[in-house]
A = this chain, B = another copy of it.
Amino acid sequence: AAGMKGLMEIILATHSGMSASDFAQEAGDWLRTTDHPKFKHPYVDVIYQPQLELLEYLRINDFKTFIVSGGGIAFMRPVTKQAYGIPPEQVVGSSVVTEYKTVNGKQELIRMPKINFVNDKAGKPVGIDQHIGRRPILAFGNSDSDMQMIEYAKAGDGRRLALFVHHTDAGREFAYDRKSHVGTLDKALDQAGANGWIIVDMKKDWKRIFPFSK
């Protein structure tokens, strides 16, 4: 959802010493109860209506759907089922090292102050292979950080589909691309035509942005 990514990067590096269970509880509570400053709805609801429709369409047609994000895997997982219909085991993301410990007589995984994996750029195909173990048939991105994932999906045998959302709607959502410091979409725009990547223009192509939009 819009604005979640920068937030995730901060969360990723913090909360050391906390158990995975407590972290999941805290992250889930926060995402369900905190309003996005621009959209005035909880973060868990600031999700794209066309994305939900595509995910549902794919699942009806026997695709298995995954989230592959640069964000923290442990931060997203508590709400992905509610938000996207995607269970925790179908979420791929960045992570910190965890250690197995017994705390107050209960076995827990404890978050350590060390990055385990950065699921971004060339890390995305690595994360996909680690978690999924198959090359995606369809991949959908929204920034240059997704180019390697998109390339990886397209390089498979048979028919493949690769898409990028271009954030072009300053009124209903945000407009940014080449010069943006976060979510830069620049090289992907240049290379899309030659590679058969489809650019989705949010302003022109999306009738409704969020489930709560009119």
Nearest B residue to A123 via CB reads B100
Instruction: Count contacts on A: residues with CB < 8 A to the other chain.
Output: 36
Nearest B residue to A107 via CB reads B155
The interface-forming segment of A37-45, A53-61, A126-134, A184-192 is: A126-134
Q: Which residue of B66, B88, B135, B151 is within 8 Å of A132 (Cβ)?
A: B88
A151 to chain B: closest CB distance in Å? 5
The interface-forming segment of A7-15, A90-98, A204-212 is: A90-98
Report A35-82 residues with CB < 8 Å from chain B CB: 64, 66, 73-74, 77
Say if the beta carbon of A201 comes within 8 Å of chain B: no
How many copies of this protein are present in the complex? 2
B residues less than 8 Å from A151 (CB atoms): 107
* Contact present for A95 and B131 (CB under 8 Å): no
* Contact present for B152 and A100 (CB under 8 Å): yes
B residues less than 8 Å from A116 (CB atoms): 130
Q: List 29 A-B contacts (CB under 8 A).
A: A64-B87, A64-B89, A66-B89, A73-B130, A74-B133, A77-B133, A88-B132, A88-B133, A88-B134, A89-B89, A89-B90, A89-B131, A89-B133, A89-B134, A95-B130, A98-B126, A98-B130, A99-B122, A100-B122, A100-B126, A100-B148, A106-B155, A107-B125, A107-B148, A107-B155, A108-B155, A109-B125, A116-B130, A131-B131
Binding site for B on A (CB under 8 A): 20-21, 64, 66, 73-74, 77, 87-91, 95, 98-100, 106-109, 116, 122-123, 125-126, 129-135, 148, 151-152, 155
